[in-house]
């Protein structure tokens, strides 16, 4: 258990001896592994397949490739090990989803209330501190639980063991609930993985030569939390980069809450210039709606031009919002993407390789192009459209090697 109490400096030293601390991506030791070439080999005959199969580009780190929670296709998300793997695959930007503990310390978790699916908390003594303890499956009712970082102190959080994000909905015991990993993922690398605070992630990512895209997660608790306001929360995240001496040009702070983005633009303009609005208006027609109440940022449904006028320079919708099918059934940019481009907004896509096997259409992330998706090689097809036609500046991926390979081969 000692490794769970390591300081930031110790985490950096442990992370990977092959990575010398340097901001130069050319110093990184990057390897694609077998997956990108495998996907390329499954592409239909044509220019994209020929280009990728003939690629001899030297593997190197690229900011076009963004590690989504590290490399959670196969490693527990938001762990040291997952992010080291992402860096080894050439991800030039790494993500810490930021939330807080009961003592208001910032930690890396995808949600404030995901500990029951991403850690072993339910089979520890800390289970009694959960907002909702384990309830077994019964009849038509699934097993459930809810455990929040805000239920624990930082010291208690550090004692948890991370695992692949999953739960067994038919479980009748907490032990069974732990075992729900999809059969296209793996638990092979889940043992002895290491949780991180936000400050520790900064030190680690910096040591790997990568830049930063922290996401301020929506609290599950009512704010202010014990006097800790939403503005305090947004400021604390930025302060940890300032305390670490990180140049603002290396940080892309994210939030689904437009108020957070506008706070950074007004109060931390150097960071706000690269703040990313995670647009969750999952209907294309929303782009033509104006402000519902210009005095209340929580009700904004701005047009692309209005976002730009507010000082927003980056937006990041799910990848399916930026593509559609034309009359020939080919993937092409959506009206949403065209409107964003016309407003001079840079776009970032999420999330590639989160859908598992694509034989059945790709699920939520491919819903706008499902009729054209029937093979894992379609990960490369949509990536090509996003890069060449939509013009995104970066792509989040659960397995960054695929995006790195594409970017290196295409000279992005």
Phi/psi at 27 (nearest 5 deg)? -85, -5
d(CA 299, CA 297): 5
Number of domains in the chain: 1
* Total Cβ atoms within 10 A of residue 178: 22
Which residue in the block uniquely carries the two structure tokens 């072993």? 120
Domain span at residue 372?
2-410
Exposed e or buried b for every residue in 273-287, given b needs 16+ CB within 10 A?
Answer: bbbbbbbeeeeeeeb
Which residue in the block uniquely carries the two structure tokens 């196969």? 74
d(CA 296, CA 319): 28
- CA neighbor of 160 nearest in space, from 112, 125, 133: 125
Q: Note whether 109 and 227 are within 8 A (CB).
A: no
Phi/psi at 255 (nearest 5 deg)? -165, 145
Exposed e or buried b for every residue in 322-354, given b needs 16+ CB within 10 A?
Answer: bbbeeeeeebbbbebbebbbebebbbbbbbbbb
d(CA 75, CA 81): 7
Distance of CA 161 to the CA centre of its chain: 20
pTM over 0.85: yes
Render each residue's pLDDT in the chain as its tens digit; 412 residues: 334 334 434 444 444 433 333 333 445 689 999 999 999 999 999 999 999 999 999 999 999 999 999 999 999 999 999 999 999 999 999 999 999 999 999 999 999 999 999 999 999 999 999 999 999 999 999 999 999 999 999 999 999 999 999 999 999 999 999 999 999 999 999 999 999 999 999 999 999 999 999 999 999 999 999 999 999 999 999 999 999 999 999 999 999 999 999 999 999 999 999 999 999 876 544 334 443 333 344 445 799 999 999 999 999 999 999 999 999 999 999 999 999 999 999 999 999 999 999 998 999 999 999 999 999 999 999 999 999 999 999 999 999 999 999 999 999 9
CATH number at residue 341: 3.20.20.190
Q: Note whether 97 and 107 are within 8 A (CB).
A: no
Which residue in the block uniquely carries the two structure tokens 């689904």? 256
């Amino acid at each position: 258990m000692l490794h769970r109490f390591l300081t930031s400096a110790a985490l950096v030293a442990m992370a990977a001896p092959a990575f010398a601390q340097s901001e130069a991506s050319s110093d990184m030791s990057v390897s694609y592994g077998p997956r990108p070439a495998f996907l390329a080999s499954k592409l239909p005959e044509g220019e994209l397949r020929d280009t990728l199969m003939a690629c001899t580009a030297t593997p190197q780190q690229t900011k076009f490739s963004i590690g989504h929670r590290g490399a959670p296709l196969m490693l527990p998300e938001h762990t040291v090990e997952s992010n080291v793997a992402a860096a080894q695959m050439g991800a030039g930007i790494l993500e810490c989803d930021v939330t807080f503990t009961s003592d208001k310390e910032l930690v890396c978790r995808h949600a404030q209330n995901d500990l029951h699916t991403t850690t072993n908390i339910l089979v520890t003594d800390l289970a009694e501190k959960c907002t909702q303890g384990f309830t077994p499956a019964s009849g038509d009712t699934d097993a459930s639980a809810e455990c929040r970082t805000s239920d624990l102190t930082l010291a208690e959080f550090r004692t948890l063991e991370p695992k692949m994000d999953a739960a067994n909905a038919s479980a009748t015991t907490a032990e069974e609930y732990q075992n729900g990993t999809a059969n296209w993922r793996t638990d092979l690398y889940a043992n002895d993985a290491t949780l991180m605070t936000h400050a520790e992630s900064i030190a680690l990512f910096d040591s790997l030569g990568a830049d930063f895209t922290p996401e301020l997660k929506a609290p599950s608790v009512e704010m202010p939390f014990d006097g800790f306001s939403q503005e305090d929360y947004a400021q604390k995240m930025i302060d940890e980069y300032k305390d670490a001496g990180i140049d603002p040009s290396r940080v892309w702070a994210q939030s689904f809450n437009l108020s957070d983005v506008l706070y950074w633009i007004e109060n931390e303009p150097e960071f706000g210039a690269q703040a990313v609005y995670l647009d969750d208006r999952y209907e294309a027609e929303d782009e033509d709606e104006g402000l519902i109440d210009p005095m209340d940022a929580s009700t904004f449904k701005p047009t692309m031009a209005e976002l730009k006028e507010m000082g927003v320079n980056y937006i990041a919708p799910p990848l399916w919002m930026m593509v559609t099918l034309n009359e020939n059934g080919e993937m092409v940019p959506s009206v949403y993407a065209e409107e964003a481009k016309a407003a001079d907004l840079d776009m970032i896509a999420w999330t590639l390789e989160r859908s598992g096997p694509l034989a059945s259409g790709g699920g939520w992330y491919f819903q706008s192009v499902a009729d054209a998706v029937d093979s894992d090689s379609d990960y490369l097809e949509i990536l090509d459209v996003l890069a060449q036609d939509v013009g995104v500046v970066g792509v989040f991926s659960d397995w960054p090697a695929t995006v790195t390979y594409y970017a290196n081969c295409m000279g992005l």
